[in-house]
Structure 1
Amino acid sequence: MVQMLSKRDDWDAIMGSLTGEDVQRLVRYNVELDEELRKRGELLEDRGLAGPQAVTTVQAVPGGEPRVTQGPYRPDEQFLVGYWVIEVDSMERAVEIAARISVSPGPGGEPVNIPVELHAVPPRPA
């Protein structure tokens, strides 16, 4: 699984400076990448997520009601921007895909070089 992460300040700066043309370019880039990965049989699922202001964190409290915290995150905390569940034959291919996600176009079409994490998804236990 590929996870795209951002800090709130970085996210706010990028999203706040995108023009309509930038948004169209970003959407087109991601649609084309998704189509390519689907044709190759590598993309199982992907989603972009709402920004940090829409996050709700729930934590169990022993003997009490769950603690529920509404976003936004603190400016220095990373949050999940989106994810891709991919199935590839090698780590090298996963890195190649992750690098392409990292260079998604931002303001003015320049690559954002956003942090991307790769997580193995092991088979379910029998």
Structure 2
Amino acid sequence: MAKYLLLKHYRGAPAAVNDVPMDRWTPEEISAHVRYMADFAARLEGTGEYVDGQALAPDGLWVRYDGEGRPPVTDGPFAETKDLIAGWMVIDVDSRERAVELAGELSAAPGKDGKPIHEWLEVRPLYGEPPLITE
């Protein structure tokens, strides 16, 4: 088994077919989207492939050590991208192919008018346990 991070990218402007900004969705459409995500996670819990996941708030901070005891803080969380990291899910699957299959399914979450949003998901393997040296 290998763990993968499925990183959900939200674009504030349409970037794909049916990619309507969430601020133009009805409350029912938002609820359907959230329900899809919860049902997806519950199904993976049943197969033992779900580890954890969370939605992220759109605000945040950048913080780094400055060598002087008080770290500087700037607005964030935006990296040099038009995307907002909207949430994440960690899965534990048998193969990279299974991670890609699940990411493709998650990308079909409903959006405006109940149509799949074709959301881009970043699929990143997590480092595993380092091998034990027994000599």
Q: Same fold (TM over 0.5)?
A: yes
- Tell me how far apart the structure 2 counterparts of residues 75 and 113 of structure 1 sit (CA, whole Å): 22
Q: Which amino acid letter does the alignment assign opposite residue 110 of structure 2?
A: P
Instruction: Give the structure with the larger strand fraction.
Output: 2
Name which one, 1 or 2, has greater alpha-carbon Rg.
2
Q: Secondary structure at the match of 1:60?
A: coil
2:122 corresponding residue in structure 1? 117
- Tell me how far apart the structure 2 counterparts of residues 4 and 122 of structure 1 sit (CA, whole Å): 19
Instruction: Give the structure with the larger helix fraction.
Output: 1
Contact 2:62 2:77 in 1 (8 A): no
Q: Which amino acid letter does the alignment assign opposite residue 111 of structure 2?
A: G
Gaps of 5+ in 2: 15-19
Does residue 50 of structure 2 align to residue 46 of structure 1? no
1:19 corresponding residue in structure 2? 26
Paired residues, number: 123
Q: TM-score normalized by structure 1?
A: 0.83
After superposition, where does 1:1-126 map in structure 2 within 5 Å? 1-9=5-13, 14-51=21-58, 54-63=59-68, 65-71=70-76, 73=78, 76-125=81-130
Q: Secondary structure at the match of 1:47?
A: strand
Q: Indicate the percent of aligned positions where both proteins have the same amino acid.
A: 30
1:8 Cα deviation from its structure 2 partner? 4.2
- Tell me how far apart the structure 2 counterparts of residues 72 and 124 of structure 1 sit (CA, whole Å): 29
1:73 Cα deviation from its structure 2 partner? 3.6
- Tell me how far apart the structure 1 counterparts of residues 79 and 45 of structure 2 sit (CA, whole Å): 36
